[in-house]
Amino acid sequence: MEPSDGQMFPGIMMINHLTGEPKRYLGQAPPLEMVIADPGGSIDSVLFNCRRDLASKNFQKEPMVRQALELVTRGLLTGDWEMLGRGTSISAQANQVLLPKQHLSLWRQWASEFRALGVIVAHSGTIMGMLMRPDGLEPREVALYIQRKKPDWKVWHTTLINGGLR
């Protein structure tokens, strides 16, 4: 099976991305906006998931992933978006062991300057995002700023949504 995300399940679902098997329901998507950037490049997700070092790299990042999952789950459950952002940022940093994002440190710096809640990354892709504060800077303006700084990147803003049928 082609590696997958959890879009076929309602809400936010932790899944086995190789088999599509649901593992744990995490909650509903919060009413948060995001700024997303794709600095380019591509990842062959089938080859990526066949890497010989995949198991050892996943084991290496497991303590950070457990901490991130706890923060994300508690943040979703309690509506504490700061906690959610800390969890997503830890998860993004943990993934540097497996698939380094060349521009993640710059992205984290910008997120800090924009007072974003946290950063996110595609764990087997090239995309980076930042979760914006509901009472913070206008995501459209942040996206325009980044697009001016990095005109070769694709940059946009969107709202978090739940998976499942529509």
Contact 11, 163 (CB under 8 A): yes
Asked if the structure places residue 129 within a domain, the reply is yes
Q: Give residue-wise pLDDT tens across range 126-137.
A: 999 999 999 999
Which of 114, 123, 125, 128 has its CA nearest to residue 64?
123
Asked if the structure places residue 59 within a domain, the reply is yes
Residue 134: other Cβ atoms inside 10 A = 10
The tally of domains found in the chain comes to: 1
Q: Which domain holds residue 81?
A: 32-159
In the predicted structure, residue 52 carries a pLDDT above the cut 90:
yes
Which of 1, 2, 3, 28 has its CA nearest to residue 13?
28
CA dist 111 and 132 (Å) reads 9
CATH number at residue 105: 3.30.70.890
Which of 18, 16, 9, 14 has its CA nearest to residue 45?
18
Asked if the structure places residue 14 within a domain, the reply is no
Q: Give residue-wise pLDDT tens across range 28-45.
A: 999 999 999 999 999 988
Asked if the structure places residue 20 within a domain, the reply is no
The residue-averaged pLDDT of 115-124 equals: 94
**What percent of the chain is modeled with pLDDT above 90?**
73
Asked if the structure places residue 41 within a domain, the reply is yes
Asked if the structure places residue 24 within a domain, the reply is no
Contact 65, 91 (CB under 8 A): yes
pTM (predicted TM-score): 0.92
Asked if the structure places residue 52 within a domain, the reply is yes
CA dist 38 and 122 (Å) reads 10
CA dist 127 and 107 (Å) reads 11
Asked if the structure places residue 74 within a domain, the reply is yes
Q: Give residue-wise pLDDT tens across range 70-83.
A: 999 999 999 999 99
